Structure 1
């Protein structure tokens, strides 16, 4: 079954409101046999209408859309099609929006202008269950998460963290450094399937749904450091 998945192209839906940028993205992606472009849209509203027909694996989404924002699109896609992975395109001065998109369910983000090979690598990573965090923004992202909760309210009681195994803690520490599933498997001398199993256990124990939330909880509860 793994071989069948690996041999099938990843179905990608691209949402970008600037036609020139959209054409450039398509030209970069269509040259790779591992990627199948199943649809495009110039707005979030149009994308949501197309979703049931095109059935993508990965949603490549511009964060700065007109009218309906990329954050709102992310929320609706994850609510209606939770199996679809969302990869955000952003720029440096959208840090707050990136945080909101991640909290809404995005699996990662790329800076606009990222080379084609890095985009393909990122699509494959999120399709495999990973998360893509650019190193240049990772520390600011984590610091921002670490700066919550709201100072205007009384701090909630933090429950005792569910114990992670030594291996799970080691993996979580690697994730905090921006290491991909593939790299973690190599560094820990484990299979990718075992890495995914460990991640599932980490998510369950920390009561989170993705890698960014897991790192955030790990830092907040003192399980790992950055």
Structure 2
């Protein structure tokens, strides 16, 4: 099952029967043609998702993203000519509004971490079900982050290691550009809570949570909630050891 890493999970996103003004435009990127075709067939059955193009490597993905301006890019990590992580950075430049989900067999911590730093909003392993893929697309299109559970554990482990490597005691302290409430929200994001849980814990509405997260990303000039957590740990804003 795919977990939401940040203020929302796939369960919080619109159900397949919900109506969107426009379908979610998806670009599929993978160097295996049979995998691309299979994914396109699956997504073709979803009325709110439209595959607008495909690419076989990172270089082609960047070109297609610039031309098609998709909402979501589903992209493998390891591909010939240009890998997915390198392409991720380039896609964010030519299609800033596109949200990128890495869909890969790689469970390497280094790939996960580099993908997040490159601006990926999701990191899913190909072992997940097709239903989970479509749910993740909807969730990410709604501004949430998605990550396979086994990878989420590795990510939090890496965050804690970052804290330990500093050799200093960390505390949740006000950062110059974030309010006290935004810091509270960011810490809850780092623990994996979704919108509903954050709203419940802080006694505020889910819409207020979304507004806080949007403000956090804008202030820190970051692409995703996962990036925000990495930033917060690196800048000694969060104490993940203290819970």
Q: Is this a same-fold pair by TM over 0.5? A: yes
Say if 2:129 is the partner of 1:115. yes
Say if 2:150 is the partner of 1:136. yes
Going from structure 1 to structure 2, the CA distance change for 1:40 and 1:190 (only over 3 Å counts) comes to farther
Paired residue for 1:48?
A: 62
Paired residue for 1:34?
A: 48
Paired residue for 2:92?
A: 78
Paired residue for 1:58?
A: 72
Deviation at 1:35, TM superposition (A): 0.3
Paired residue for 1:212?
A: 226
Of 144, 158, 180, 1:165 maps to 180
Deviation at 1:172, TM superposition (A): 2.4
In 1, are the aligned partners of 2:112 and 2:151 still within 8 Å (CA)?
no
Q: Whose helix proportion is higher, 1 or 2?
A: 1
Tell me how far apart the structure 2 counterparts of residues 172 and 160 of structure 1 sit (CA, whole Å): 11
In 2, are the aligned partners of 1:12 and 1:35 still within 8 Å (CA)?
yes
When normalised by structure 2's length, the TM-score is 0.75
Structure 1 unaligned blocks of 5 or more: none
> Comparing 52-61 with 171-180, which one deviates more in the overlay?
171-180
Deviation at 1:146, TM superposition (A): 4.4
Deviation at 1:96, TM superposition (A): 0.7
In 2, are the aligned partners of 1:164 and 1:205 still within 8 Å (CA)?
no
What is the SS of the residue equivalent to 1:93?
A: coil
Say if 2:196 is the partner of 1:195. no
Deviation at 1:183, TM superposition (A): 5.8
Tell me how far apart the structure 2 counterparts of residues 183 and 34 of structure 1 sit (CA, whole Å): 27
Structure 2 unaligned blocks of 5 or more: 1-18
> Comparing 201-210 with 109-118, which one deviates more in the overlay?
201-210
Say if 2:27 is the partner of 1:13. yes
Of 127, 144, 147, 2:141 maps to 127
In 1, are the aligned partners of 2:66 and 2:91 still within 8 Å (CA)?
no
When normalised by structure 1's length, the TM-score is 0.80
Tell me how far apart the structure 2 counterparts of residues 9 and 75 of structure 1 sit (CA, whole Å): 25
Paired residues in the alignment total 217
Going from structure 1 to structure 2, the CA distance change for 1:219 and 1:48 (only over 3 Å counts) comes to closer
Structure number with the bigger relative contact order (C-alpha 8 A, sep ≥ 6) is: 2
In 2, are the aligned partners of 1:15 and 1:61 still within 8 Å (CA)?
yes
